[in-house]
Amino acid sequence: MARYVAILSTGLVLGAVCGLVLQAVQPGPKTDDTGFVSIFDGKTLQGWHVSHQTGHGTGGRWAVENGVIVGSQDRPGNGGILITDVPYGNFEVVLEMNNDFGPDSGLFLRSTEQGKAYQAYIDYHTDGSLMGVYGEGFAEPFSESNFRFLGGPDKIKRVDSIFPLPVSPGLWPDFWKHGEWHVLRARIVGNPPTIDTWINGVQFMHWADKEKSLGDKGGIALQVHGGNFPAGLDLTKLFVRYRNIRVKVLDDSAK
């Protein structure tokens, strides 16, 4: 894929691997948690709105239940995105996720109302992946991830990537436990941007684009994929769940 270039720190990957046992026992972000502000009040969708302009449908179903944003298709095939009212440029976003295994979701970075965005994968389904990078709605789509789910949430396979998988497939069941809340984090700076992602404090991707494909600012969005995808599932009865969504705005000197 000629449109992007890897920026890979061997020390960073080795550090994540060496700390894996601790991460698996006590998951949690190890990056700097200062300077974040909440963008979800835990009670309402104030500050967010459903976009009716994406190719995934008219928006899907989004509600707040017990301090959690819950999303699903509202009728078979009809999904969409929930997007912030405020656009962001250079920023880091962190949230907690506890999705059903089946729906295809995503964390959109610098999203337009049409859902064109740099997406951090939350494809929590068979053959899906987490916290890779995808060009959502791009004329020349690109995808980079380092693992795939095999038939369920407890088994993964490694795939070739510019950023090697930091958790071995054999240790995945200790690192990721279905039904528990997990911390997902993404950081985007510059334009063309550099994107970093983490799961439970372990870095899973470091990726840089070569081309300026979006504006300098855009919304932060959560996705419920439209259509019959993944196939064979009743996606009106399977849900994505997000809480404790916080953002830190970074200045133009961030690297």
Residue 172 burial (C-beta neighbours within 10 Å; 0-12, 13-18, 19+): buried
Report pLDDT for 254: 66
**0.85 surpassed by pTM:** yes
- Between the alpha carbon of residue 192 and those of residues 3, 4, 110, 195, 246, the distances in Å are 10, 10, 12, 10, 24
Helices (runs of H) and strands (runs of E) counted in the chain: 3, 18
Dihedral sign of CA atoms 105, 110, 112, 116 in order: negative
Report pLDDT for 156: 98
Report pLDDT for 214: 96
Name the residue with tokens 């439209």: 226
Residues of the chain with pLDDT under 50: 1-2, 4-30
CA gap 51, 70 in Å, rounded: 16
Q: DSSP string spanning 34-59?
A: TT-EES--SS--TTEEEES-STT-S-
φ, ψ of residue 106 to 5 degrees: the values are 180, 155
The three-state secondary structure class of 17 is: helix
- Between the alpha carbon of residue 159 and those of residues 127, 146, 149, 209, the distances in Å are 11, 5, 11, 20
Residue 196 burial (C-beta neighbours within 10 Å; 0-12, 13-18, 19+): buried
pLDDT one-digit tens code per residue, 125-163: 999 999 999 999 999 889 999 999 999 999 999 999 999
CA gap 134, 154 in Å, rounded: 23
Report pLDDT for 196: 97
Report pLDDT for 32: 86
**What ranges do the domains of the chain cover?**
4-249
Report pLDDT for 255: 61
Report pLDDT for 31: 73
Report pLDDT for 7: 42
Write the Ramachandran bin of 252: left for phi over 0, alpha for psi from -120 to 50, otherwise beta. alpha
Report pLDDT for 15: 42
φ, ψ of residue 32 to 5 degrees: the values are -70, 120
- CATH architecture of the domain 4-249 equals Sandwich (2.60)
